[in-house]
Amino acid sequence: VQLQASGGGLVQAGGSLRLSCAASGLSISSYTLGWFRQAPGKEREFVAVINWSGGSTYYGNSVKGRFTISRDNAKNTVYLQMNSLKPEDTAVYYCAAGTRYNRREDEYDYWGQGTQVTVSS
């Protein structure tokens, strides 16, 4: 099982990025998918989660209204559209797959390798 995150990069404050996470070795259609991030010197934090059908989503307070999580089960891929980016969004972003719809890290079974997002002021 592999989750391959991509789409990170350097962007100016106020800009946008779209992260993708492609799964191989499992079908995501029955999994909850989440995004987490970890900034230097900080603990990893929850960003967003989407249930198996895409009908339910939930966001961390710091990204609510700016980020949108979505999924394409046919492409076995989850996305994170990030708008109005701020310097404090700078972090390594990780995708994860689990069987329960929640925001707890320990509930996720599979993790991607992370993609770096850097927002300059």
pLDDT in tens, 32-42: 999 999 999 99
Q: What is the three-class DSSP state of 73?
A: helix
State the pLDDT at residue 74. 96
How far is it, in rounded angstroms, from Cα 66 to Cα 63?
Answer: 5
How far is it, in rounded angstroms, from Cα 52 to Cα 33?
Answer: 7
Query: pLDDT tier at 3 (50, 70, 90 boundaries)?
Result: very high
CB 14 within 8 A of CB 121: no
Q: What is the mean pLDDT of the segment spanning 1-18?
A: 97
Query: pLDDT tier at 11 (50, 70, 90 boundaries)?
Result: very high
CA distances (Å), 94 to each of 3, 121, in order?
Answer: 9, 23
Query: pLDDT tier at 17 (50, 70, 90 boundaries)?
Result: very high
Q: What is the mean pLDDT of the segment spanning 14-19?
A: 98
What is the percent of the chain with per-residue pLDDT over 70, rounded to a whole number? 100
| Residue given tokens 């987490």 in the structure block | 36
CB 63 within 8 A of CB 47: yes
pLDDT in tens, 42-89: 999 999 999 999 999 999 999 999 999 999 999 999 999 999 999 999
